[in-house]
Amino acid sequence: METRTNAGSESPEWGPRESLTLLNTNLRRVDGPEKVSGRARYTHDIRLPGMVFARLLLCPLPRAEVELDCTAAAKIPGVVAARSLRDKDGFETKFLGQAVAVVAAETPELAEDGLRAIRANYKPLPWAASADQALSPDAGQVTKNGNLGKESTKGDEAKANAILATCDATVEAEYRLPVQHHCSLETHGVVVDYRGGDEATVYASTQGTFTVPEAASGPLGLSASKITAIVEYMGGGFGSKFDFGIEGKTACELAKELKRPVHLMLTREGEFLNSGNRSGSIVKLRAGAKRNGKLIAISSSTMRMGGIGGGSFSGLPYVYKVAPPDEEAGEESDEKAKNPDGVRSSVRSLYTHTDSSRAMRAPGHPQASFAMESAIDELAYKLGIDPLVMRKTNLAKDVYHRQLDRAAERIGWGAHPNKTAPQKTPDADGTVTGIGFGVSVWGGGGHAECRVKISIGNDGSLQAIVGTQDLGNGTRTYVAAIAAQEFGLPLEAATARIGNSNYGRANASGGSTTAASLAPAVKVAAHKAREAFLAHLAQATKRPAEELAFRGGSLVEREGSKALMTWKEACATLGTSGLSEDGDWQASLASNGVHGAQAAKVKVDLGTGRVTVVSMVGVQDCGLPLNRTAVESQLNGGMIQALSYALHEERVIDPKLGLMLNANFVDYKIAGCQEMPELVPLIDDDDIGRGVIGMAEPAITPGHSAIANAIYNACGVRLRSLPFTADRVLDGLAELAANGGAK
């Protein structure tokens, strides 16, 4: 089917969804065979003639005075460089795992030998390695102004408290979320190919191809225009791989010094200690509602735990609307609607001597979701209101009602017996079953940063060329699909050439903005190339261009079915230089603002405290789905990450010893095959009339909150700290028993 809807239009359109033959269908990833066969080359895989391998020495204490002697390391045969990362002999470190020295050698093993040969003297200084430690009077100071950052407040506390006093039900609680790590399978790092001269190539595991040349130019002493960044494949980032980092800077300095290619990738321990994380948080919250379920007041105080960084928190009340206490008082002003009297919030950072947090999929949203969804749930049970109804009562947008209803139907809420109270009698296997809900929000819009070239060769080749990176989320596939769709060709007829800074510019992949920024530019370039090609073929066929179309792999009559030429025959009429057109972003092809709802069903073993997630349902809108399989995969991935966050993940640091006790994939637990529930990803196809919108971020936001609510619905234990481990469930059950079944 032809993809154009307006013949000769200056502004291309996506067209009706039912007319699309590739977009909005289920597509296999074009790079799948490369990845499963091992042919895909990641930065870790790069091997160059004369290349050396570098390793970083990390400080094993949260804060210390450091003195280094690299003499013995430099004398090891095969070691080509061993030096401190500081110019002076003695210096002070600021966080656990801070890089202090580097060794480069002919093999990775020799580089490790060099690290062990460095004589490092660490003199401990007073530190604050945990939240509680940072708040103690004798804690080591992280910043010159102490360990608590400046407080940011909104609303009037006295007004909020006055309204809370009038509520029919209130909840007052503290919610804690631990630091979570990105756990990218490919660690951070680069391979710098510099052998002298005025040019260099940097292979990088990065979320931003075009951030690399500028970042590398300083340490290499070269103009950014002389540096090529290559991101053929990269093994995950989730927000952690925007910065060039100490690993990139050091590799460039070594390459400049040695005039040899340098391979420097973090070890797995280094990845845990020196590549960022999702900040933890402590949320103290009071919320109140009327008897009808209307939320009318919320007062909160939040501490963000971002290590030496500020951390992130998206704010409260998350998604939900706080209504005025007197709904008969007439219409609110816009200012009152945005800042109702019943809302008061305070947010500040709590600093520790640990690695700075970085963006992680939906930064700040999972933390706010957990506190808010838990509070909404607690109020619902206190009022005896169905928690699904409670949510819809306090969500202003109809899209959430639609999505919650769909999630509820698929998870089996209608037939669920314990809607307003936990299950009283366990099943025969000693377990109880519960269901919980949560919602999410995100922007996901695009902007004008991408420049795409569509190239048609006289041999029939069709290429979409742009420097963007593919984080593993399917960018290659939809770039090729948009090009192929425009010419009525199958997906395999188009090739996406990406991941090189010599190609057209593209934005860094963050905030779910890539698809909405890149896809319109591909569409515009393909539209222009098709118009130019049809104009050329009009001369060859002696027919008006408006009477021609590409359909089914051929040039055809627009209003008929007669094939005039095959695609290859049409391409053969081009000269040796072929045909190419460039395209930029067009705002009308993108949109922003996405919504999601998720439901979780769990079983809780009352004897062991073990929580088993039975199923998770996610409903998500995203404007026009470019590849339905990829959208569903992103939604599945978000639910899996949320499940892992809920049940397993937590950075564990011994505050007295200053050691991270689980800086590896043996002790840092993440969900595996054994924990996978039934995953049901549902695309909200009622979201029509909008362009492309990114949706990867919100997919992770509400899942852990829904699981927490499902645990309470199952057994009556309200868990207010992640992860939801068996011991915490058993403690909660014991407390319930001691209180006569009420908590």
Query: Would you call 517 exposed, middle or buried from its count of C-beta atoms within 10 A (0-12, 13-18, 19+)?
Result: buried
Please identify which residue in the block is written with the tokens 């040019």: 199
The CATH-assigned architecture of domain 17-40+446-589 is 2-Layer Sandwich (3.30)
pLDDT for residue 332 is more than 70: no
Distance CA 235, CA 322 (A): 42
pLDDT of the residue at 8: 47
| CATH number for the domain running over 148-183+276-394 | 3.30.365.10
Return the SS3 of 16. Answer: coil
Report the run of H or E that residue 597 belongs to, with start and end.
strand 594-605
The dihedrals phi and psi of 399, each to the nearest 5 degrees, come to -60, -35
- Strand ranges (DSSP E) for 255-294? 262-265, 280-289
Q: Say which CATH class 44-126+188-265 falls into.
A: alpha beta
CATH fold label, 397-441+592-743: Aldehyde Oxidoreductase; domain 4 (3.30.365)
Q: Report, as an integer, the average pLDDT of 425-437.
A: 97
- The per-residue pLDDT for 331 is 55
- Residue 46: pLDDT above 90? yes
| pLDDT grade for 154, boundaries at 50, 70 and 90 | very high
Mean pLDDT along residues 632-643? 98
Write the single-letter amino acid at 87: D
Torsion of CA 603, 604, 605, 610, to 10 degrees: 110
Long-range contacts of 392-397 (CB under 8 A, 24+ apart): 393/292, 393/293, 393/294, 394/293, 394/294, 394/295, 394/320, 394/321, 394/323, 395/319, 395/320, 395/321, 395/439, 396/321, 397/595
The domain limits of the chain are 17-40+446-589, 44-126+188-265, 148-183+276-394, 397-441+592-743
Q: What is the pLDDT of residues 255-268, one digit of tens each?
A: 999 999 999 999 99
Q: What is the mean pLDDT of residues 512-528?
A: 98
Establish whether domains 44-126+188-265 and 397-441+592-743 are of one fold: no
Kindly tell me if the per-residue pLDDT of 337 is higher than 90.
Answer: no
DSSP letter string, 285-341: EEEEE-TTS-EEEEEEEEEEEBTTB------SS-SPPPPPS-TTS-PPPHHHHHS-T
What does pLDDT average to over the chain?
96
pLDDT of amino acid 2: 41
Q: What integer pLDDT is reported at residue 561 of this predicted model?
A: 78
Spatial contact of 525 and 464, defined as CB atoms under 8 Å apart: yes
| β-bridge partners, 67 | 90, 121
Place of tokens 């580089």: 111
Spatial distance between the Cα atoms of 624 and 607, rounded to a whole number of angstroms? 47
Cα–Cα distances in angstroms (integers) from residue 196 to residues 99, 143, 199, 200, 256, in the given order: 26, 41, 8, 8, 7
pLDDT given at position 740:
82
Amino acid 6: pLDDT: 41
- The yes-or-no verdict on residue 4 having pLDDT over 50 is no
| Beta strand ranges found along 72-199 (DSSP E) | 79-84, 90-92, 99-105, 119-124, 152-154, 169-177, 189-193
Task: Answer yes or no: are the C-beta atoms of 210 and 512 closer than 8 Å.
Answer: no
- Percentage of the chain surpassing pLDDT 70? 97
Digit-coded pLDDT (tens) for 577-602: 999 999 999 999 999 999 999 999 99
pLDDT score of 10: 64
Give me the pLDDT at residue 11, please. 85
Q: For residues 68 and 653, what is the distance between their CA atoms, to the nearest angstrom? A: 25
CA 295 – CA 309 distance, rounded (Å): 33
Cα gap 178→163, rounded to integer Å: 32
The pLDDT tens digits for 356-407 are: 999 999 999 999 999 999 999 999 999 999 999 999 999 999 999 999 999 9
Confidence of residue 5 (pLDDT cuts 50, 70, 90): very low
| CA atoms of 400 and 395, how far apart (whole Å) | 7
Query: How many whole angstroms separate alpha carbon 392 and alpha carbon 378?
Result: 15
Of the pLDDT bands very low, low, confident and very high (cuts 50, 70, 90), residue 89 is: confident
Tens digits of per-residue pLDDT, 117-136?
A: 999 999 999 999 999 999 99
- What average pLDDT does this structure show over 198-214? 98
